[in-house]
Amino acid sequence: MSTSLRLGVAEFRARPGRALLPGVALVVGVACLLAALVLSDALTRSVDEGAPLTPSTVSHVVDVKQQPYDSNATEANRPKLDAALLAKLSAVGRAVPVQEAKADLLDSNGRAGEHRAEVQVQQPDLVRWPLAEGKAPAADNEVAVDKITAYERGLKPGDKVKLAAADGKPFDVTVSGVMKKGGMDSRPILVAGPALASKLDPEPFTKEIWVIGGARDAVASAAGASYVVWDPAPDADKIGNDLTFILLPFSILALATAVFVAAATFRAVYAQRQRQTALLRCIGAQRGPLVRRSLFEALITGALAGVGGALLGGPMAWVLARTFDVTGISALFGAVELSPELLPSLGYVILGVVVAALLSVMAAVRPAINAARVSPLAALRDAENEVPPRSVRRLRLVFGLLFTAGAALLAMVAIAAKGTTAAPLSVTFSAIAAVTGLFWILGPVTVPFIARLFGKIGGTQWKLAGAEVRRMPQRSASVALPLLLASSMVTFFLVVLGGVQDVASAYANEKRPDATVVDAGGRALPDIPAQADAEASVALHKTEEDGPLGADPGQLKAWLKAQDVSVTDQFVSGTALVPEHWADKPYVEFGGKQYEVVGTVPGSLTGFTPIIGGQTSGPVEKVFVALKPGVDPAQFRAQLQSALPNNPTVIVRTDADERAEADRYMHLGTVLMMVLLGLSVAVAVTGIGTALTISVQERRKELALRRALGVTQGGLQGGVIAEAVMLALVGVIGGGVLGFGYAEIAILSTGIDMSLPGLKVVLPLVIGASVVVALAVVAAFGPSRGASRIRPAAGLASG
């Protein structure tokens, strides 16, 4: 063991750069891991800081006991948290309802938004919601706003915002403070006192009742058997570590990529010192100490990489946080402007060191064993290329073809079993077999073949780069494999998400009204003035709570005709139309009377609600509008809302809005996937830099000879960069083809009519490939500079 340690230390002293080279990828991999953990910590902390707190003065909490399902139960006999219960509890102690109201927060133009604000009712002496700045609302004209709303609207304490009262009339309130909580997906959250809340919503929802004072038994007795009483927990609404592992799978993927890169680098480093190893074998060194020496070096390399990755994790988390802010992903989590710790805690440093050291040793095991098997006669051999024995090549070819054939068979099974649970499993195992066969086992054949294709389209530098890839096929394949895997995953998910987006768009493109006029708060609509851009419209009247809607038969048929939907002439007053999935209903019962069903309409067009002809006495709930051909829906919305200046809560939902909303969520999902999978791409690109560093060290004589023959320093740099670009293109193109192919297989195996997306997916892939090539050029900068500084005389004299 002492001999192994001395040999390992001697290697670090003699060539510290070469010894530490395999740790470069681990630095980035560990940085990705700790960045995910640090960012998750910041996200969890942000959400927990904004969670509501139960004041310490609250003695008991009363809520409705969970009741078994009873199909015969009616709304009237279900237990409620109502005024009667409050009166009973008030006899024991102070009873305070914890309520949530709804309101319309108006924008800078004085109009209500699509999403209503959630108003948390807070007693002045029972503060529940922590504030980031300002003070809790005290006066009847004060509110606190959530931090996402404040961030998006640029609000601060003292600013004025407009709300709509329960009757729809706008009025000003003052922002007293900004909450630590953020509204999920930009849905506003407000905190207001009871008086203001009742002005906004006369019937708020009571979530629970607090009781201050009184014995628990007395409270339970006053409440009755239908209610449950418990002691409050101050931090009951905190989520703890629930968000810690959101980003973890992607960081683990990046770490796995780092292990691939580190293993390839270890293999190249050990091959570089093959002559030294053979000489040690000649003088009696055993394989065991040589393997232990290599593993000890790997342990030290991993530990140092862990420290570097830990220091890099904080800044990487900060960059990810800013990226999420810019792309709008942060708002989906209800957090914005996260501030992850730039310096890691001691625990994270230890975690980084331990993980990197263990992974480094794992990556070095096989290369170390193979290196120790070198024959003493290899000391007399000059290994300029990697040409395995014929038996090894034959065995590799057999296994490679077997795995590839198995992948093809599993792909056909997946397509044949489409729509079943076996299909996705077959796709997964087929992809694993294809990567194993084509790019791991047959990688020394496949990668040089792809590189040869690129070598034919370039000049001298490209041909020399292709020759270098063919000279070291095993190393080239090992370097290209991690990038190929990352590229294939990015392509696969992007293509599949594009297909899902097309399906979502197809559902969004179902027959819908060109425009729907409603009140954001469900209020009765005023008289809607006629618009020149409207071809036809129909008002739908409310009949009862959650009941059918009523419409004038003539107006409804004219509107349906303008929407290219035919309806029977039998629809007259006293009859009903139902959604298509209710076609078997013979009648609709309403108000003690039966209305004959005379036809059906697309449910997505009319809101999946029966429509009764002639029932027009109730308030107008919504107006459907068919626009004239070529009319811009946004322009129609602006014109209609400008015609209703005194009705700020009247909103216009258009068919285009439905599609845009679906596209927005798919876009955010795509961006999130690209950013997180990009971590693996970044790790994979480091393998190109390390491989080129070793390549330049090995080819000092060759590079010096080129300089002696008149090649300029720029020419040498260009050759190294061309090699980096070629390896990047091999990984990107190979992975892209593989990912695209398996995306097609996955889509076919679902059994869903889903077409492959077109240019909208190609463009992000081209941009991503360009970024990867640019990163490869950056990774090649150091090795290319080293190559250009080789002096001809010194290089030719080197052994």
What confidence tens digit (pLDDT) does each residue in 137-161 have?
Answer: 988 899 999 999 999 899 999 999 9
- For residue 189, the SS3 value is strand
Same domain, residue pair 618 and 660? no
pLDDT at 135: 94
Q: Is the pLDDT of residue 468 over 60?
A: yes
Total domains, the chain: 4
> Scanning the structure block, which residue is given the tokens 């008002």?
539
* CA atoms in the 13 A half-sphere facing the CB of 388: 15
Within a domain: residue 172? yes
DSSP codes, 225-256: TTEEEE---TTTT--TTTTTTSSHHHHHHHHH
Do 698 and 680 lie in one domain? The reply is yes
Displacement of CA 84 from its chain's centroid (Å): 47
Letter string b/e over residues 339-350, b meaning 16 or more CB atoms within 10 A of that residue's CB: ebbeebeeebbe
Is residue 758 scored above 60 in pLDDT? no
In a domain, 392, yes or no: no
Residue with the bigger pLDDT between 57 and 475: it is: 57
**230, 264, 295 - which closes a domain:** 230
* Domain finish residue from 604, 632, 648: 648
- Least confident span in 70-79, 338-347, 372-381, 402-411: 70-79
Least confident span in 115-119, 564-568, 754-758: 754-758
Residue 426 inside a domain? The answer is no
Does the structure show a pLDDT above 60 at 374? yes
Strand partners, 174: 142, 160
Report the length, in residues, of the chain.
799
Q: Is the dihedral angle over the CA atoms 255, 258, 263, 269 positive or is it negative?
A: negative
Could you give phi then psi for residue 553, rounded to 5 degrees?
-60, -40
DSSP states of 514-553 as a string? SEEEEETT-PPP-PPPP-TTEEEEEEEEE-STT--EEE-H
**192-216, pLDDT tens digit by residue?**
999 999 999 998 999 999 999 989 8
Phi, psi (rounded to 5 degrees) for 637: -60, -50
236 in any annotated domain: no
Please tell me the distance from the alpha carbon of residue 506 to that of residue 420, in angstroms, as a whole number. Answer: 23
As a whole number of angstroms, the distance between CA 649 and CA 197 comes to 17
Asked if 136 contacts 60 with a C-beta cutoff of 8 angstroms, the reply is no
* pLDDT tops 80 at residue 668: no
In a domain, 429, yes or no: no
Residue 248 and residue 177 share a domain: no
CA distances from 294 to 274, 284, 298, 388 (A): 12, 17, 6, 22
pTM of the entire structure? 0.75
* Cα atoms found within 13 Å of the Cα of residue 40, Cβ hemisphere only: 19
Parallel/antiparallel/unpaired status of strands 515-519 and 620-627: antiparallel
183 in the same domain as 47: no
What pLDDT is stored for residue 7 in this prediction?
Answer: 56
Q: What percent of the chain is modeled with pLDDT above 70?
A: 87
- Least trusted range by pLDDT, from 80-89, 138-147, 217-226, 384-393: 384-393
Domain membership of residue 194 as a residue range: 60-230
For residues 525-553, average pLDDT: 87
pLDDT digits (tens, 9 = 90+) for 126-137: 999 999 999 999
pLDDT digits (tens, 9 = 90+) for 736-747: 888 888 888 888
φ, ψ for residue 600, nearest 5 deg: -125, 160
Give residue 16's pLDDT band: very low, low, confident or very high (50, 70, 90).
Answer: low
Together in a domain, 25 and 136: no
Q: Are residues 309 and 253 in the same domain?
A: yes
The verdict on residue 237 lying in a domain is no
CB 551: neighbour CB atoms within 10 A? Answer: 24
Q: Are 487 and 772 in contact (CB under 8 A)?
A: yes
Domain termination residue (choose one: 592, 618, 648): 648
Does residue 576 sit in the same domain as residue 667? no
pLDDT at 113 over 80: yes
Under a CB-based contact definition with an 8 Å cutoff, are residues 604 and 511 in contact? yes
Cα 200 to the center of its chain, rounded Å: 36
Written in H, E and C, the secondary structure of 76-92 is HHCCCCCHHHHHHHHCC
Q: Are residues 544 and 505 in the same domain?
A: no
pLDDT at 18: 63
Report pLDDT for 165.
93
Decide: 363 and 297 in contact? Cβ < 8 Å. no
| Cα distance between residue 646 and residue 644, in whole Å | 6
The pLDDT confidence band at residue 70, using thresholds 50, 70 and 90, is: low
What is the residue whose two structure tokens read 């596209």? 663
Q: Is residue 666 part of a domain?
A: yes
The SS3 assignment for 190 reads strand
Confidence of residue 105 (pLDDT cuts 50, 70, 90): very high
Q: Is the dihedral of CA 240, 242, 247, 249 positive or negative?
A: positive
Same-domain status, 86 and 69: yes
pLDDT at residue number 383: 47
Supply the pLDDT for residue 387: 56
Tokens for 733, please give them.
């193109």
pLDDT for 73 beyond 60? no
Q: For residue 154, how many other CB atoms are within 10 A of its CB? A: 8
pLDDT mean over 690-711: 80
| pLDDT of 306 | 92
Q: Identify the pLDDT of residue 161.
A: 94
Q: Tokens 């618009």 — which residue?
A: 531
- pLDDT at position 200: 93
Rounded Cα–Cα distance for residues 622 and 526 (Å)? 10
Q: Residue 713: inside a domain, yes or no? A: yes
Per residue in 252-291, pLDDT (tens digit) is: 888 888 888 888 888 877 777 777 777 777 777 677 777 8
Query: Within 10 A of 122 (CB to CB), how many other CB atoms are there?
Result: 22
pLDDT score at 292: 81
Q: In what order do the strands lie in the sheet with 575-579?
A: 587-590, 593-601, 575-579, 611-613, 549-551, 534-542, 620-627, 515-519, 650-654
Please give the Cα distance from 218 to 220 (Å, whole number).
Answer: 5
Structure tokens at 271: 């091959």
- Residue 12 pLDDT > 80: no
For 597, residues 6+ apart whose C-beta sits below 8 A from its C-beta are 575, 576, 577, 578, 582, 585, 586, 587, 588, 610
Q: Which whole number is the average pLDDT over 757-783?
A: 79
Question: Are 574 and 629 members of one domain?
Answer: yes
Identify the helix (H) or strand (E) that includes residue 279.
helix 274-282
Among 455, 460, 451, 458, smallest CA distance to 480 is for 451
pLDDT for 722:
85
531 and 589, same domain (yes or no): yes
Question: Do residues 562 and 625 lie in contact, with contact meaning Cβ atoms separated by under 8 Å?
Answer: no
Q: Are residues 210 and 85 in the same domain?
A: yes
